[in-house]
Amino acid sequence: MNERARRTVPADPAAAPADPEAIAASGRLVARILEHIEAGGGWIPFDQFMRHALYEPGLGYYAAKPAKIGAHGDFVTAPELSPLFARALAAQVAQALLELPPRVLEFGAGSGALASELIAQLGRLGVELESYAIVEVSADLKTQQQARLRDRRIRWLDAPPERFEGVIIANEVLDVMPVKLFVGRGGSMLERGVQARGGGLSMAERPAGDELLEAVKAIEADAGPLPDGYVSEVGLMARAWTATLGHWLHRGLALLIDYGFPRSEYYHPQRAMGTLMCHFRHRAHADPLWLPGLNDITAHVDFTAMAQAARSAGLQVLGYTSQARFLLDCGLLELLGEAPGGPNTAAALRLLSEAEMGELLKVLAVGRGVRGPLRGFASGDRSHRLL
């Protein structure tokens, strides 16, 4: 498929070598992963590898690597690019809070940029927040958030609350949840994983287990048969995460913003290599085994699966659209008019551009007890594409 890589331009990762200390840290992570492989009988599924590479305590990318997000990191997200993103999002949050307790819960708050600007803009809109809480799995990013947001009244939670009423936000969180990799070959479905080879790591395949077989069968039932040799991924963890919202989101709205597509586009026969992508110093590459712990690893989101998971957990799908349509409906151009200027205009163009964030990122709204219609989906709702 002719499509720009997520966030960054494809490039040879070797063109930007890491420093010796970082390479040594990655070596320690590889040694730890080799222990997991040995404990797993010589092979671990890719989702387990991805969990270690990103979240292994003290060594994983989100657990340990300093300077991940922003100009000096590996990738840029919408809130890092411009405060206009948070200001536009605030319009949707403010509308929802008209009928909900004024509480916001953010997952994976990164550097804290979104929280900082969202709280400020809600204040300008006259919304008095009762609470703003963050659930963050990265101890390192939590420290960064606490430093940046120390003058705000924010609570950090180790896990979602047992019951919540208000607005939930997760920007680019689902795409860093571990995925399973599959490949269909000669009538058999195989699961890709990682094995030890020559003191390092290499990819290896095993017959897929029942859970993965079921998931691929459901994909083929919706998207049509996948061609021989087709490689892709299934985000079972992201689905489970979305389904759990149904247990504890008692009344409110969840805005899930991420790179992704409806199922029929995701598993299009032409997207034969899946969407797995790694990011290192603003370069994108496709080798997750290259310097684990120093690279972000992501996969796009199957938004049909997220909508199904939400519905089966008793939530309603309240809207689905591109980031560009969502931001425009939330008044991005008016906000740009209030703060014109070169950097803001350039950032707004990137947020809206069809070839970049505007179309590749989507916004899915799910919830319970919210009347709607929601402002952010007024002119571009594509929920019907998720059926």
Ligand X SMILES: C[S@@+](CC[C@H](N)C(=O)[O-])C[C@H]1O[C@@H](n2cnc3c(N)ncnc32)[C@H](O)[C@@H]1O
Contacting positions for ligand X (CB under 6 A): 62, 69, 77, 79-80, 107-110, 114, 135-138, 141, 171-173, 176-177
Q: How far is the CB of 329 from ligand X (least distance, A)?
A: 20
CB of 80 to ligand X, least distance (A): 5
- Length of the chain (residues): 387
Structural Rg of the chain based on CA atoms: 20
Q: How far is the CB of 210 from ligand X (least distance, A)?
A: 25
| Shortest Cβ 177–ligand X spacing (Å) | 6
| Nearer CB in complex with ligand X: 177/301 | 177
Q: HSE of 214 in the Cβ direction (CA atoms, 13 Å)?
A: 4
Cα separation, 7 vs 73, in Å, equals 12
Nearer to ligand X, 44 or 169 (CB): 169
Query: In this complex, which beta carbon is closest to ligand X, that of residue 177 or of residue 208?
Result: 177
Among 362, 327, 348, 159, CA closest to 247: 159
Q: Which residue is nearest to ligand X (CB)?
A: 108
What are φ and ψ of residue 138, in 5° steps?
A: -90, 115
- Cβ(104)–Cβ(131) under 8 Å? yes
Tell the smallest beta-carbon distance from residue 9 to ligand X (Å).
18
Distance CA 383, CA 326 (A): 13
Residue with smaller CB distance to ligand X, 189 or 257: 257
**DSSP 8-state secondary structure symbol assigned to residue 19:** P
According to DSSP, the residues that pair with 75 across neighbouring strands are 69
Cα(216)–Cα(225) distance, rounded to whole angstroms? 10
Q: In Å, how far are 200, 247, 355 from 297, measured between CA atoms?
A: 18, 28, 21
Nearer to ligand X, 135 or 255 (CB): 135
